[in-house]
């Protein structure tokens, strides 16, 4: 087996994904031609998204959609609105979706989209105009059997409702074109909290295998958006002690544990995390928060927040990647050498796309599942994927991230081969 050294240098998100691809492809002994096929995305789309703002002025944004691989099914992945969204990052995130759908075994390929915009600066009307225009510009590159967007960073069920409506203007009623829709509009109960529920299930199953006691474990969560806040709730309900959380404005730390239900109520009222009143808590910056002494660290915000500058100072015993690519693969070895275990993104946050799959099934069959059924099926898929991944990691003597990429790449390469070229 060719050993690929992990460079000790700062990598972009795309470099990190490509490095992991090379490592896992080498472990699998994948042919060079197949490597090329799986490394390069199938299609990269860049569009101009002009809108008229509330002041009557023209504003022009740039939108991206990358369809990485569709051998196992329609392209699938979220759409994010972020000031730093760019083609390379979207490309990395699209590849992550390809491996994620294969690891959790849902019949989709991988895609990702983004618009370079700071959504906090836009009114609801402007956001609607932006979403509709972006949907128009994506045209027939999306569709229920072609490419199915979903929410991601700074987008939500409302965004998906606008996308579905805009797509429907040209194609008629087509709820299966997007997932993560409002429950009143052909969405599925349990989708909103699905990623957070999946993070909890992944950790719970891994903890069982490791004989690691989750009861009263000290948990730190970076990011208190959809994923972070629901993860906090599930872990709190499971008996963990959530000692610190943060949002983009900063965080709070209380070694005795934070009152998570109350923090969520405050968040829903629009109160930023650092402005939350807890007399026993102290404020921490996002950087400090990552370095707090804890049992479980859950980065649930942006990419590569754990990198060469702080890897030596991380004091958690387990890192669960609720965000996409929050740990640079350049530091996996440093963390592992210090005895820190990582549950990788392609497994840890796969609950979202799994319930997206359930939503899509409902939509194309014009059926409705009840919430218990969604929860049971999600739990079954998450626990099964964790056990399978741990078996592969042990058998191949690799870390969990390498094992996840090996499972994903192997499944996609087989599908490609079977389809023929
Ligand atoms: N944006 C989510 C992710 O990164 C969900 C994608 C989906 O449901 O298609 O996994």
The CB of 321 under 6 Å from ligand 1? The reply is no
- Residue 160 sits in the same domain as residue 217: no
Does residue 264 belong to any structural domain of this protein? yes
pLDDT-derived band at 89 (thresholds 50, 70, 90) equals very high
Which of 176, 203, 228 lies at the terminal end of a domain, its last residue?
Answer: 176
Count of all residues that appear for the chain in the document: 421
Does residue 102 belong to any structural domain of this protein? yes
Q: What is the H or E stretch that residue 421 is in?
A: none
Q: Report helix, strand or coil for 390.
A: helix
Closest to 227 (Cα-Cα) out of 194, 253, 183: 194
**pLDDT tens, residue by residue, 176-198:** 999 999 999 999 999 999 999 99
Q: Is 230 exposed, middle or buried (0-12, 13-18, 19+ CB in 10 A)?
A: buried
Instruction: For residue 151, count other CB atoms closer than 10 A to its CB.
Output: 25
Instruction: Name residue 284's beta-bridge partners.
Output: 251
C-alpha gyration radius of the chain: 20
Closest to 352 (Cα-Cα) out of 149, 61, 186, 137: 149
The CB of 114 under 6 Å from ligand 1? The reply is no
Give me the half-sphere count of Cα atoms (radius 13 Å) on the Cβ side of residue 97.
38
Q: What is the per-residue pLDDT for 29?
A: 98
Does residue 336 belong to any structural domain of this protein? yes
The CB of 353 under 6 Å from ligand 1? The reply is yes
- Residue 98 sits in the same domain as residue 69: yes
Does residue 165 belong to any structural domain of this protein? yes
Q: Mean pLDDT across the stretch 92-113?
A: 98
- Residue 207 sits in the same domain as residue 339: yes
Q: Mean pLDDT across the stretch 240-257?
A: 98
Q: What CA–CA distance (Å, rounded) separates 193 from 299?
A: 17
Range of the domain at 292: 194-348
Q: Output the CA 352–ligand 1 centroid distance in Å.
A: 6
Q: Is 112 a catalytic residue?
A: yes
- Residue 231 sits in the same domain as residue 321: yes
Does residue 28 belong to any structural domain of this protein? no
Does residue 377 belong to any structural domain of this protein? no
Output DSSP code: residue 9.
S
Q: What is the per-residue pLDDT for 7?
A: 84
pLDDT-derived band at 8 (thresholds 50, 70, 90) equals confident
**pLDDT tens, residue by residue, 54-65:** 999 999 999 999
Quote the distance between the C-alpha of residue 342 and its chain's center: 15
Beta strands in 195-311 (DSSP E): 218-222, 241-247, 250-253, 282-284, 296-299
Q: Mean pLDDT across the stretch 123-151?
A: 98
Check pLDDT > 80 for residue 246.
yes
Q: Output the CA 355–ligand 1 centroid distance in Å.
A: 9
pLDDT-derived band at 341 (thresholds 50, 70, 90) equals very high
Ligand 1 atom at minimal distance to the Cα of residue 180 = 8
Q: What is the H or E stretch that residue 157 is in?
A: helix 157-171
Q: Output the CA 350–ligand 1 centroid distance in Å.
A: 8
Q: What is the per-residue pLDDT for 74?
A: 98
Which of 176, 208, 227 lies at the terminal end of a domain, its last residue?
Answer: 176
Rounded mean pLDDT of the chain? 97
Q: Mean pLDDT across the stretch 124-138?
A: 98
The CB of 74 under 6 Å from ligand 1? The reply is no
From the candidates 76, 100, 112, 133, which is the catalytic residue?
A: 112
| More confident position, 97 or 6 | 97
Does residue 24 belong to any structural domain of this protein? no
- Residue 171 sits in the same domain as residue 317: no
Q: Output the CA 127–ligand 1 centroid distance in Å.
A: 20
The CB of 152 under 6 Å from ligand 1? The reply is yes
Domain of 233, CATH number, reads: 3.40.50.720
Structure tokens at 114: 């983004």
State how many domains the chain has. Answer: 2
Structure tokens at 16: 């990190």
**pLDDT tens, residue by residue, 286-306:** 999 999 999 999 999 999 999
Q: What is the per-residue pLDDT for 267?
A: 97
Q: Is 79 exposed, middle or buried (0-12, 13-18, 19+ CB in 10 A)?
A: buried
What percent of the chain has a predicted confidence (pLDDT) above 70? 99
What percent of the chain has a predicted confidence (pLDDT) above 90? 97
The CB of 150 under 6 Å from ligand 1? The reply is yes
- Residue 50 sits in the same domain as residue 90: yes
- Residue 88 sits in the same domain as residue 199: no
Question: Are 153 and 300 in contact, with CB atoms under 8 Å apart?
Answer: no
Check pLDDT > 50 for residue 2.
no
Domain of 63, CATH number, reads: 3.40.50.10860
**pLDDT tens, residue by residue, 368-379:** 999 999 999 999
Q: What is the per-residue pLDDT for 1?
A: 44
Does residue 142 belong to any structural domain of this protein? yes
Q: What is the per-residue pLDDT for 3?
A: 59
- Residue 332 sits in the same domain as residue 203: yes
- Residue 272 sits in the same domain as residue 310: yes
Closest to 64 (Cα-Cα) out of 50, 84, 85, 40: 85
Closest to 213 (Cα-Cα) out of 240, 176, 194, 181: 240
Q: What CA–CA distance (Å, rounded) separates 260 from 240?
A: 11
Is this prediction's pTM over 0.95? yes
pLDDT-derived band at 143 (thresholds 50, 70, 90) equals very high
Which of 121, 148, 176 lies at the terminal end of a domain, its last residue?
Answer: 176
């Amino acid at each position: 087996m060719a050993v690929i050294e992990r460079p000790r240098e700062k990598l972009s998100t795309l470099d990190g994904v490509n490095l992991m691809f090379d490592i896992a492809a080498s472990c699998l002994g994948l042919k060079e031609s197949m490597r090329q096929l799986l490394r390069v995305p199938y299609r990269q789309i860049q569009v101009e998204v002009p809108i008229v703002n509330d002041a009557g002025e023209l504003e022009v944004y740039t939108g991206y959609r990358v369809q990485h691989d569709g051998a196992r099914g329609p392209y699938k992945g979220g759409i994010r609105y972020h000031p730093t969204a760019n083609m390379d990052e979207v490309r990395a995130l699209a590849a992550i979706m390809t491996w994620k759908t294969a690891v959790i075994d849902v019949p989709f390929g991988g895609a990702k989209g983004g618009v370079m915009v700071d959504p906090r600066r836009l009114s609801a009307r402007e956001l609607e105009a932006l979403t509709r225009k972006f949907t128009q510009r994506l045209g027939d590159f999306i569709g229920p059997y072609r490419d199915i967007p979903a929410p991601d960073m700074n987008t939500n069920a409302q965004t998906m409702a606008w996308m579905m409506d805009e797509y429907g203007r040209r194609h008629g009623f087509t709820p299966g074109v997007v997932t993560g829709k409002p429950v009143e509009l052909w969405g599925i109960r349990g989708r909103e909290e699905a990623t957070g529920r999946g993070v909890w299930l992944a950790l719970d199953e891994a903890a069982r295998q490791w004989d690691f006691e989750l009861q009263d474990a000290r948990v730190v969560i970076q990011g208190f958006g959809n994923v972070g806040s629901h993860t906090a709730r599930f872990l709190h309900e499971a008996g963990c002690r959530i000692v610190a959380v943060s949002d983009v404005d900063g965080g709070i730390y209380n070694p005795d544990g934070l009152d998570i239900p109350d923090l969520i109520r405050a968040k829903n009222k629009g109160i930023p995390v650092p402005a939350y009143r807890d007399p026993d808590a102290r404020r921490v910056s996002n950087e400090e928060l990552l370095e707090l002494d804890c049992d479980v660290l859950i980065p649930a915000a942006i990419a590569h927040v754990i990198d060469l500058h702080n890897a030596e100072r991380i004091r958690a015993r387990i890192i669960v990647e609720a965000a996409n690519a929050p740990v640079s693969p350049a530091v996996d070895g440093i963390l592992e050498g210090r005895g820190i275990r990582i549950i990788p993104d392609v497994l840890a946050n796969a609950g979202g796309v799994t319930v997206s799959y359930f939503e899509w099934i409902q939509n194309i069959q014009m059926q409705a599942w009840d919430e218990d059924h969604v929860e049971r099926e999600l739990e079954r898929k998450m626990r099964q994927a964790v056990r399978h991944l741990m078996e592969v990691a042990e058998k191949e003597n690799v870390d969990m991230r390498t094992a996840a990429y090996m499972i994903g790449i192997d499944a996609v390469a087989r599908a490609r081969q079977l389809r023929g070229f």
